[in-house]
Amino acid sequence: MLAGFASQFDGRARWGRAAIVVAVMAASVVSVPAKEAPPAADELATVSLAALPAEAQATERLIRTGGPFPYPKDGSVFGNRERQLPAQRRGYYREYTVPTPGARNRAAKRIVCGGYQVTTPQACYYTDDHYASFRRIVK
């Protein structure tokens, strides 16, 4: 008789634990934050071209003259997956490496330009932290 009671108790305890797990999982689904919308162009901080490092100024000149660029990936489409730049259609943004003195690789500095004519972009943005933040370049 005692053995039957023990098996019923074990079964109920398992169902109780399962209910708690389901309740915790349901609560965690409800609290998932929504993705933020990309910023508008006028919401981004700005930086003057003259205030950028000399290497960034040289990269900006190369962009406007069409190169040649020192890195094979320069001019490739920038997907804006981080959603730090204003929303645009794929292919609108292109990225360019800003050389970092002493770095053995491309490092973190980039200029990303938007527009459909590569040498006359509508707007360019500078990042020195590998896309975590951008500042719109103004003349």
Residue of 36, 55, 82, 95 marked catalytic: 95
CA distance 30 to 25: 9
Both tokens of 76, joined, read: 């490739």
Does residue 101 have a pLDDT over 50? yes
Confidence of residue 85 (pLDDT cuts 50, 70, 90): very high
Question: Domain residues of the chain, as ranges?
Answer: 1-32, 41-138
**Per-residue pLDDT band at 37 (split at 50, 70, 90):** confident
Average pLDDT over residues 5-33: 50
In the chain, how many H helices and how many E strands?
A: 2, 6
For the residues 79-102, what does the mean pLDDT come to? Answer: 96
Q: Catalytic residue at 130?
A: yes
| Mean of the per-residue pLDDT values of the chain | 83
CATH of 41-138, one of 3.40.50.1010, 3.50.50.60, 3.10.450.30, 2.60.120.10: 3.10.450.30
pLDDT given for residue 18 in this prediction? 53
Active-site annotation holds for 82: no
Q: What is the mean pLDDT of residues 52-60?
A: 98
Secondary structure element (H or E) that encloses residue 64, with its range: helix 54-65
The pLDDT assigned to 81 comes to 94
Position with higher pLDDT, 6 vs 137? 137
